[in-house]
């Protein structure tokens, strides 16, 4: 094997060409494929039940964030955010401050309109 030979992937990744003495990317093909899969994935919207389940698992502390991220397929930063939200709103579950109403006050809106 030549000391400076690299494999470049172009386009859809089906054609490989070998360049010698180039400053081509040394990223292994496996990593390139993982990146393209992540870029093609659609944005996921998680429900409240799933978020609560992940946050409770994080609060238990049995596993690290990295260990939790793999089975739930969620980034560790997202788990931390959900955990903080759960801890901040835990008092609301037992009758703390009431949640703001989702419907706006129609009288004030009609007064603004005229």
- What tokens were used for 75? 């980034």
Q: What is this structure's pTM?
A: 0.51
Percent of the chain with pLDDT over 70: 61
- Ordered by start, the domain boundaries in the chain are 5-40, 48-93
Largest CA distance in the chain: 81
Helical axes 76-93 vs 65-72, angle rounded to 10°: 90
Mean pLDDT of 9-33: 55
Element (H, E) at 10: strand 5-10
pLDDT of residue 22: 52
Helical axes 48-60 vs 76-93, angle rounded to 10°: 100
pLDDT of residue 6: 55
* Per-residue pLDDT tens digits for 32-77: 666 666 677 788 899 999 999 999 999 999 999 999 999 999 999 9
Mean pLDDT of 14-26: 53
């Amino acid at each position: 094997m030549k000391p400076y030979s690299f494999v470049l992937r172009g386009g859809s990744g089906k054609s490989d060409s070998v360049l010698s003495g180039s400053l081509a990317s040394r990223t292994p093909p496996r990593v390139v494929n993982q990146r393209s899969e992540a870029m093609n994935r659609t944005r996921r919207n998680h429900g409240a039940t799933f978020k609560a389940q992940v946050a409770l698992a994080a609060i238990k502390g049995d596993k690290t964030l990295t260990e939790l991220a793999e089975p739930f397929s969620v980034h560790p930063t997202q788990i931390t955010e959900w955990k903080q939200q759960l801890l901040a709103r835990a008092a609301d579950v037992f009758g703390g401050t009431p949640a703001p109403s989702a419907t706006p006050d129609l009288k004030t809106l009609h007064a603004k309109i005229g």
